[in-house]
Amino acid sequence: MTPVAQVPTVDLGQLGLHRHVDDGPARASPRTASQREPLDVAHREGAGSAVGRPLARDQSSAHVRVQGLDLDPQAIGGVMGVETSDAGRQPIRRSAGCPTRRSVPVRIHELMIINVDLIQGRAEDPTMASDPLPDPLPDLQPEQTGADHAPTHAPTHLRAHTPGPDAAAGSFGGAHALTTVPRGLAGVVVTDTTVGDVLGDIGMYHYRGYPATELARSRGLDDVWALMIDGALPANDAEQRAFRNEVRAQRSLPTAVRDVLPHLARAGSTLDGLRTALSLVGQVDGMRPLLDSSPERRRADAIRLAAVTPSIVAALHRGALGETPVEPRGDLGSGANLLWMLSGEEPEPEFARALETYLVTTIDHGFNASTFTARVVASTGADLGACVVAAVGALSGPLHGGAPSRALDLLDSMDAAISERPTQERAEVIDEAIGARLASGERLMGFGHAVYRTDDPRSVLLSEVAARLARRSPEAAQRVELARLVEARAVRLLAEHRPGRELRTNVEYFAGIVMDLCGVPRSMFTPAFASSRVIGWTANILEQADDPKIIRPAARYVGPGAPRRVPAVAG
């Protein structure tokens, strides 16, 4: 029997059986096992049919399995019947105790239907009696379970929309057919992926199964890049050299892009210029739609875009300063090469390694806004350049990629507030300043994360990197000491002002410290983030390209009732 915690909570409204699902915790029925209704199983001849006998009830559990479905007869209020169609779908039809009156198609998957509150059945609503059902219904994919496939997401709670008085009763796409999910799609599993995952409850995230922070400690960015694109870490020196030579040969800017960069640098921010430049790279290189490209060509396009992105952002930064671009060097690793292209000076090895550690930690991080954007565009079959450009647009939002410099601004304000105060008064001054911000409802940049309910592993690692860099100078030591003091005071105050939220430092907090100590200008914080995240974007795009299904959700219309009479223009 599959445990409830390992499968998604599925909306019966999407199956046409009811109008509302309670998204609260699962509720146990007070009825005893002897009071539970048996499940009747009907049979009809057809391809793939495996039903035809009553299903034994598990007396120790409220949940029973019916031909690939786990149903809770107590939760749904009674008995249900199942039959198999020739088309390979199962209609669930009404039996005693279930208020729906007709069969509805559902794809055969292993599902767990729980937390259902049958407030109002279709039989009670005459407007729902004859509306056609969607065919096929959207795929409802469960999480893999078992010893080798531990669940990686909390159950997804979906709730059917109950239309308001002005909503029109319609068919598929109308109010009755929609399924409401949490704002921001929080906790909603939209696809399967082998690229990586974020396990927020235990404070871990991984790239293809390898903890990302351990990769950052032990491998260079090129090795992790190979893992993301090809699915495996280089196993020996020969494989390392082969991939390293391949990607470093793609770092140079096309002539057409080089010519336009000075104009882009003067016209807007580095991310603005990056969007335009990457679009031009795709055009100049003749990138074809994913739908029309071979896997080999897609891979080549992915490597080209990820390899040229650091060169573009560094050239845009120098162009904004009125300086000429610095050519990339094939003998330098990713961190060292970025520092070289920004300054034109030989990078110090410790700074290069610190920056590369940061870059590895930010390659991928679940279905964040920019990664999901890239996959949505990829699902249309667009070219890789278009997909990455869309992702950069999502990253340009300050709630996604703009926080490292803002977190550093917080430290600057705290530094100014305590600069002339005795050491013993500094904690009190910081408490007053942060407390006033929190009391006014202000958000503390660099604290809190949508997924982690414990320490952000990226922040933990970058805190260690910052501690090593602090030994290089008294100024660096003073900066890191201030960061730790502000962190400690802010976490304590956040617990008081936002109880139960578990708000701690996220990657942006110490990322700003590390990049600042390495000599990366603040205006380059988010572009540097993009120069590594593009590897994760392209890995996700390549995976999405293998799925021919376009991502096309629906919206719940809440405007005036339709159709409305078009008024005449008053004379």
Give the C-alpha separation, 230 to 247, whole Å: 13
Contacts 24+ apart (CB under 8 A), 436-442: 438/493, 438/494, 438/497, 438/498, 439/497
Which one of 143, 356, 487, 508 is the catalytic residue?
508
Give the C-alpha separation, 126 to 269, whole Å: 57
Query: Residue 361 corresponds to which tokens in the numbers above?
Result: 């930690």
What is the number of helices (H) and of strands (E) in the chain?
17, 11
* Helix, strand, or coil (residue 154): coil
Query: Is 428 designated active site?
Result: no
Give the C-alpha separation, 259 to 255, whole Å: 6
Q: In terms of residues, how long is the chain?
A: 571
User: Which string of DSSP letters, residue by residue, matches 61-99?
Assistant: -S-EEETTEEE-HHHHTS-EEE---TTS-EEEEE-TT--
Say if residues 92 and 42 touch (Cβ distance below 8 Å): no
Give the C-alpha separation, 301 to 303, whole Å: 5
Q: Which residues are CB-neighbours of 331 under 8 A, at least 6 positions away?
A: none
Closest CA to 542 of 410, 420, 394, 371: 371
Radius of gyration of the chain (CA): 28
Kindly give the pairing relationship between strand 179-180 and strand 159-160.
Answer: antiparallel
Give the C-alpha separation, 469 to 158, whole Å: 47
Query: Residue 415 corresponds to which tokens in the numbers above?
Result: 């530094």
Query: Residue 489 corresponds to which tokens in the numbers above?
Result: 């005071």
User: Which string of DSSP letters, residue by residue, matches 443-510?
Assistant: --TTB--SS-SS--HHHHHHHHHHHHHHTT-HHHHHHHHHHHHHHHHHHHHHHHHSTTS---B-HHHH
Give the C-alpha separation, 540 to 523, whole Å: 27
Kindly give the pairing relationship between strand 104-106 and strand 90-94.
Answer: antiparallel
Say if residues 125 and 43 touch (Cβ distance below 8 Å): no
Give the C-alpha separation, 180 to 188, whole Å: 11
Cα 422 versus chain centre, distance:
45
Closest CA to 512 of 503, 521, 502: 521
Q: What is the DSSP letter of 47?
A: T
Query: Is 508 designated active site?
Result: yes
Query: Residue 194 corresponds to which tokens in the numbers above?
Result: 């082998």
Q: Give catalytic residue positions.
A: 449, 508
